[in-house]
A = this chain, B = another copy of it.
Amino acid sequence: MCDAGIVTTPPPGLRERKKRATREALREAALRLAVERGPDGVRVEDIAEAAGVSPRTYNNYFASREQAIVSAVTADREARIAAALAAGPAGARLADAVTEAVVGQYANTGEREQKALLLITTRAALRDAYLGSTAGIEPPLAEVLAARLGDAGAHTARVLAASVAAAVRIALEGWLRPAGAAEAAGGLVVPSGSLPDLLRAALAPLAPAFDAAERGTRP
């Protein structure tokens, strides 16, 4: 009843393995075809066929074509962030631990991911899907934060997790912005830099909130 859902994986089970395999096949097929033919040259029917399932089944796994393509890059980054935070030193400042966990999981820039991200930036729909994937980090992160803050801080954990997700989204927005539209107001806003720097800068304003939460539950 109290398992975290991640730590307990006694036997993966055949059914579960098939499901994972299907999802991965769809992810990879979607990305490969998108790279080969361009983002607009690939239809759902093609992805499903390449993965060996029916188009209807494809839709049982992904709610949109963009989601499938982006999923090949985002994979299970949410779970890895939560795992990195849970595995980190318990003595460190919570704000720093969260920042490092996030930065660490967004730092691994493989050859394939680089090409995929280049493709994602070319279509607004894909960019939105990529930015929207940050919302997925909230649930697992909230769980780990609740474990650190205690049951009394479960509510705070949820808010902080959502804030982190929002900050990450902002950092990514600033990162893959093609210096496009004119600035609406406020003048110039340090356009871009390295991703880790952007992430740290975006998470920095939240540090005081983490400090207070940490102090409030463990005086």
Contact = CB atoms under 8 A, between A and B. Distances in A.
Contacts of A209: 205-209
A174 B149 CA distance: 20
Nearest to A169: B162
A205 B166 contact: no
Interface residues of A, number: 38
Given A159-B205, A163-B206, A167-B163, A184 B151 contact: no
Contacts of A2: 185
Contact of A155 (B156, B158, B166, B189): B189
Nearest to A163: B163
A3 B190 CA distance: 20
A185 B4 contact: yes
B155 A201 contact: yes
10 contacts: A3-B185, A146-B185, A155-B201, A158-B170, A158-B189, A159-B205, A166-B166, A205-B213, A208-B209, A209-B209
